[in-house]
Amino acid sequence: MERMPESQVLLDIAAEDDEFAQAMDRAFRKVSRQINVPGFRKGHAPRFIIEQMYGREVFLSEAQQDLMDNLYRKALQQEELVPVGTPDVELVDMEPLNFKVTVSVYPTIDPGNYQDVRVEPKDAAIEDNAVDEVLARIQKMQSPWADPAEPRKPKEGDQVTIDLTVKEGDEEFEQPVEDAVFILGESNLFDQLRTEIEKLDVGETATVDVAFAEDDDDVSERVRGKTLTYTITLKGLKERDLLPLDDELAQTVNESSLDDLKKEIETDLHRAKTNETRNEVVNEIINTMAEGAAIELPGPMIDDVVNEDYNNFRMRLAQQGQSIEEYFRLTDKSEEDIKEEMRESSARRLRNSLLLREIANREGIEVSDNEIDAEVESLVTAAPNVDQARQMYGENSYIRGMLRNDLFDRRLTDRLIEIATEGKGAVINGWTEEETSAEAEGEESEPKAKKASGAKKKTTKAKQEEADTEETAPVVAAETESSAEA
C-alpha cells in the first residue's frame, strides 16, 4: 500500500500461485455448466476438452474477476481501509494475476492539540433600548394606515402605491406592474427610484434611468451592466396613524398588559441573544480547533456533500415557488457553476464534521439507549395525552434518532466549551430558565442590561417580521441577503 494526496491509496495486489489455481478451478466449475460440449452433459465435459474447443481464456476472465474482487476485499481488511467512491483498477499481468487499485479512503484525522485551544466567554446582555425598539416596531405594525390630513409629497415611513414600467432602450424589460405597494425606508427600493417617488404628488409620473455596474453584487445578475428606464406613477399615499403604547395596544398583541408585554419581549430577546452568543463561541472554538487539525478530504466525500447541499438548495427554491431552471435563467448559471460555488463551504463543513467526530471519540462522548429512553419518557410525561404520546414516541426510530443526535451534539458542544473556556462557560450575563421562573413568581428580576434571548411567540419577533413584509415589484429592489447568498 502507498498513501497518496487527498486521502487516496495505491494498492499493488498480486495473487499467489495456489490462489490463482483455486480461482481457475472455481471458474471451470462455473463456466462448464454453461457450455454445450457434444457427447457430454452440461458440467461434465473434461476441462482440457473445453480448453481445446474454446480456449483457456474462457476460464481466465472469470477467474480474474472472481480473484480480483476477493483480493481487493482482503487488501482493504488487511490495511484497515474504508473505501470512498469507485476504485480505479489497472491490470498489470493476467497470469499470474497482478493488478493495481487507486481508491479514495476514509481520511486519517489528526485533531492536533485541540485541548490547548482557548477562547473567552462573550457577553449576552441586551442593550438598554432593545425592548423599546421592539415595542416601536410592534406599535408601527398594529397602527392603521390613513390618508394624510393635507396633500403632500411622500416621505420616510409612508406607504406608497405605484404603477411601474421598466424598459431597456425601447424594449420592454419587465411586464408592467400596477398598484405595487412599498413603504419608504423599509421596502428594498433602489435609491434612485425612492428619490424620484419622494418628488411626486399623487397622480404624477416620473421617468428615471438607472445604470447598473457589471460587478454590482447587490442586484440580480440579470440587470448587471444594463441601463434600465423606469417610469413611475404615484397612485396613492398613506401614513401611519400611530396608536398609543398602552395596555389596550398590548392586549391586541398577546392579551396582556403593557408591562407584561415588555417582560415577554425582554425574555425573548435575552434568550435569543444567549443562544446566538453561545453559538458564536462554539463556532469560534470549532474553527480554531480546525486550524490545528490535519485532515485530507477525499474528493468523492466532498462530491457527496456538494450534491447534498445542491439538492437542499433546489428544495429551498421549490418551497419559495421557484424552479431550478428558472434560477438558471435568471442568474445565467449552470448546475456546475452552483456546485463549484458551494464546494469550498461544503468541504469546510465536512472537515469540521469529521474533526468533531474524532474529538467526540477521544473524549468518550456517547449516548446510550437508556438515555434515549429517558428523553422519550420526559417527552411523554409532558404531553397532554400520555398514552398517545407514548405510542407515538416509544418505538419511532426517526424521533429516537433525532433525540440521540440532539443529546450527542449538546454533550459535545458542552465539552468543547468546557475545554476552550477552562470551565468558565460560553457566555456571561446569559438567560436561564430560573430567571423566567423567578419573574413568573413575582420576584425582582435583573436589570435589562444583564438580559438577552429569542422570540418564542408570534407576539414579538415573528410579528415584527410580518410588519416588514410588503409586496415588491420585480427588478426594483436590491437583492436581500438571502437571495444574494442563493
Among 474, 461, 460, 463, residue whose Cα is nearest residue 182 = 474
Question: Does 113 map to a domain?
Answer: no
Specify the CATH number for the domain of residue 16.
3.30.70.1050
Same domain, 276 and 194: no
As a whole number of angstroms, the distance between CA 183 and CA 201 comes to 16
Residue 164, domain CATH: 3.10.50.40
Q: Which helix (H) or strand (E) holds 146?
A: strand 145-146
Residue that has been written with the C-alpha cell 452552483 in this structure: 338
Q: Is residue 474 domain-resident?
A: yes
Residue 310 lies in a domain: no
Query: Is the domain of 343 the same as that of 447?
Result: yes
pTM over 0.85: no
Q: Are residues 71 and 217 in the same domain?
A: no
Per-residue pLDDT of the chain (486 residues; tens, 9 = 90+): 999 998 999 999 998 888 877 777 776 666 656 566 555 656 555 665 556 555 566 666 777 777 888 899 999 999 999 999 899 999 998 877 899 999 999 999 999 999 999 999 999 999 999 999 999 999 999 999 999 999 999 999 999 999 999 999 988 998 999 999 999 999 888 899 999 999 999 999 999 999 988 888 788 778 888 899 999 999 999 999 999 999 999 998 887 899 999 999 999 999 999 999 999 999 999 999 999 999 999 999 999 999 999 999 999 999 998 899 988 988 888 999 999 999 999 999 999 999 999 999 999 999 999 999 898 888 888 888 888 888 888 778 888 899 999 999 999 999 999 999 999 999 999 998 766 555 555 544 444 433 333 333 344 444 444 444 343 334 555 443 333 332
Q: Considering the domain boundaries, does residue 116 fall inside one?
A: no
Kindly write down the DSSP assignment for every residue of 10-23, as one continuous string.
EEEEE--HHHHHHH
In angstroms, the CA 305 to CA 343 distance is 8
Same domain as 224, residue 169: yes
Total structural domains in the chain?
Answer: 3
Q: Determine the Cα–Cα distance for residues 181 and 131; give it in Å rounded to an integer.
A: 29
Residue 327 domain-assigned (yes or no): no
| Residue 273: inside a domain | yes
Residues 400 and 471 grouped into a single domain = no
Note whether 91 and 229 are same-domain residues.
Answer: no
Same domain, 283 and 388: yes
Indicate the SS3 state at residue 232: strand
Q: The cell 463549484 sits on which residue? A: 340
272 and 398 within one domain: yes
198 shares its domain with 98: no
105 strand-pairing partners? 83
How far apart CA 415 and CA 420 sit, in angstroms, is 9
Q: Tell me, yes or no, whether 235 and 258 share the same domain.
A: no
Closest CA to 200 of 148, 236, 239: 236
Among the three residues 84, 106, 128, which one is the final residue of a domain in this structure? 106
Domain of residue 480, residue span: 144-241+465-486
Residue 53 lies in a domain: yes
Chain Cα centroid distance, residue 382: 31
Instruction: Name the H helices within 364-396.
Output: 369-382, 386-394
The reply to whether 261 and 406 lie within a common domain is: yes
118 belongs to a structural domain: no
Which residue among 106, 130, 163 closes a domain?
106
Rounded Cα distance between 72 and 100, Å, is 10
Q: What is the spatial distance between Cα 302 and Cα 310, in angstroms, rounded to a whole number?
A: 12
Determine whether 385 is exposed, middle or buried from the number of CB atoms within 10 Å of its CB (0-12, 13-18, 19+): exposed
Rounded Cα distance between 14 and 23, Å, is: 13
The Cβ of residue 10 has, within 10 Å, a number of other Cβ atoms equal to 14
Residues 372 and 395 in one domain: yes
